[in-house]
Structure 1
Amino acid sequence: MTRRGRRTPVPPDPDRPENLALLDHLRARAARPGGPHDMDLDGWQLHTHPDLQERFIVLASGHPVGSAYGVPVLSAGGVAAAVAYGTGIVLVRVASPPENLAPGGSLPPLTDGEWFSVDAWQADIPQAEGTARLCALVREAVRHTRGLGP
């Protein structure tokens, strides 16, 4: 914990096998900021729209959000649980596909296996309900991820 009661974000541990596919995917697309208009996140060019980055922090509901290669990542015990990607995708590591949320885009090979993609905005349901469902999903991803390893 930090002095103000906030927990320090924990990035995904590169030595955990559960993170390999995600980190390989993000590393392959990573770049250092190079232009005057490049936005950065922890020294890497931001690969998530700033609006999605802000929304992801809300969806993480109090959990500290870290990053990997310019992408916001929520980790539990060093294992990535949820990721804000692109302009409107939230990737979650859960046991089965979310049933009450609109899917996001496909991101092979990640979404071919243990990751599920959901739309970060859920435009077809009322905003408060969509946010509540997404927050619950992110909490479920954290619980699921905590059960994956030591």
Structure 2
Amino acid sequence: MTRRGRSAPVPPDPDRPENLALLDYLRAHAARPVEPYDMELDGWQLHTHPDLEERFIALASGHAVGSAYGVPVLSAGGVAAAVAYGTSIILVRVPALPGNVEPGEALVPLTDGEWFSVSAWQSGIPQADGTACLSALVREAARHALGLSRNPPGR
């Protein structure tokens, strides 16, 4: 399935060590659609609420959002940068979270490493400010992932 954005989505490269923990986690929770009413994304049961998927695509404006195992994923250079999961979680791969960002629910073991969970709606600040803050964070995650992609796989 092609997502909105300037270019075609680049899925997370399964051969990149940076993606292994994320892809292992998503694969372990993945399921193929069984019932006719199962919502799906690229042949997998959708594990992201449609409202969150729509918000994630908007936050990643200008970047094409792909998927992995039924979960929307923004990748840069084949390295996963940000993920929308569940009903309100956005995972971002950044060196550190800015202090003004409301954290989201932990997603162990991913959030024990280089992934940070943030609340998709930042309820503690005005909506426009929350959207701007998260958009900047998703862009930073894409820049960070692109930097990681320039390192040879296996480093």
When the two structures are superposed, what TM-score results if normalisation uses the length of structure 1?
0.95
2: CA distance, partners of 1:9 / 1:133: 23
**2:87 is aligned with what amino acid?**
T
Alpha-carbon offset, residue 148 of structure 1: 1.0
- Is the 2:41–2:71 contact (alpha carbons within 8 Å) kept by the matching residues of 1? yes
1: CA distance, partners of 2:113 / 2:86: 19
1: CA distance, partners of 2:77 / 2:92: 15
Once the two structures are superposed, the pairs formed by residues 1-150 of structure 1 within 5 Å of their partners are 6-150=6-150
**1:143 is aligned with what amino acid?**
R
- Is the 2:76–2:149 contact (alpha carbons within 8 Å) kept by the matching residues of 1? no
**2:88 is aligned with what amino acid?**
G
Structure 1 unaligned spans of 5+: none
What SS does structure 2 have at the residue aligned with 1:74?
strand
1: CA distance, partners of 2:16 / 2:37: 34
Where has structure 1 moved over 2 Å in runs of 4 or more? Answer: none
2: CA distance, partners of 1:21 / 1:52: 22
1: CA distance, partners of 2:20 / 2:131: 29
What SS does structure 1 have at the residue aligned with 2:47?
coil
1: CA distance, partners of 2:101 / 2:81: 17
Structure 2 unaligned spans of 5+: 151-155
**2:72 is aligned with what amino acid?**
P
**2:45 is aligned with what amino acid?**
Q
What is the CA RMSD across the aligned residues, in angstroms?
1.3
2: CA distance, partners of 1:132 / 1:116: 18
**2:23 is aligned with what amino acid?**
L
Alpha-carbon offset, residue 36 of structure 1: 2.0
